[in-house]
Structure 1
């Protein structure tokens, strides 16, 4: 039995966003032309406004007004065990704050009782985040706060960070 997938669209200041759902949870949110665009949606889906999309659009409305939404729509994360752990770490990054790939690697190393974890491995998992913006992969920077690595492009990453009040990056100085 295959799961029915639904899609809808949202006109944002960044361009059209595509939303995907399994009928209950959000399974994808992509910016047009980003890497891995619609990778959890598949080819057989129905465009329909369902409750999780209405809630997601409300979240996006608040976010693009420069406000920190106080809720998150139901999200279903589907990836490897490692990817899902990284994505959950991303959800812990507060609005208007950033972290680095290395800091996430250190945090997961401690939580898992490991001796070392590669920041590059974390970067690979961050880059496969299916729910852009809501799972805030844009808040992850390189060493020294360098603006790097965003599947939607660095210009969009910078716009998202600026929307959250982060306006200074090492290459801008």
Structure 2
């Protein structure tokens, strides 16, 4: 009898994920990485990066949501996320100011998508207020909706909702927690 507790299943999992990707049988590939803001779950579809999640969001809940909203064929592994991991490592090292990744934005619609499309135009090391973002997206009275769009951003860090602050300069909220937001802002301030 095989003791599966002592068998390293990682190579098998990697081969399975690679074969599924080759045969276009994989809806979502994911991996978990360490970062200065804690462990992050990265998930991509064939169209591009679809989700980045902070550990406090509960990775199992995030993966269940992706299976429900994107497709049930979700596997850990594949090289689909190599560029994402590399660009995030460069960003956290202060060597990258903008991301050059294909994004799958299907998890956001309407005004939320419009806000999230604006966020990468906020320069590295700078911030805008919720009011400024609302104005920039053509809805100057939709300040609270901007906050909701930032709070539901499926691609934090890459789509930099951490650069949006309250009008008084205070942090506001952040999906990854205020300490993560402070860390990202400080990282950009030092490297700018």
State the TM-score, normalized to the length of structure 2: 0.75
Partner of 2:31: 8
* Alignment partner, residue 67 of structure 2: 42
Look up the SS of the partner of 1:134 in the other structure.
coil
Distance 1:69 1:143 in 2: 24
* Structure with higher helix content: 2
Matches within 5 A, 1:1-173: 4-34=27-57, 38=62, 41-42=66-67, 44=72, 45-51=74-80, 53-78=81-106, 79-109=108-138, 116-165=140-189
Preserved CA contact (<8 Å) 1:98 1:141 = yes
The whole-number CA distance in structure 2 between the counterparts of 1:54 and 1:135 is 18
Q: Distance in 1 between matches of 2:184 and 2:136?
A: 24
Moved over 6 A (4+): none
TM-score, reference length from structure 1: 0.83
Structure 2: runs of 5+ lacking an equivalent? 1-24
2:89 partner SS? helix
RMSD of Structure 2 on Structure 1 (CA): 2.2
Q: Which runs of 5+ in 1 are unaligned?
A: 167-173
2:17 match: none
**Helix, strand or coil: the match of 1:20?**
strand
2:128, 2:163 within 8 Å by CA — same for their partners in 1? yes
- State the 1:67 CA deviation: 2.3
Q: Name which one, 1 or 2, has greater alpha-carbon Rg.
A: 2
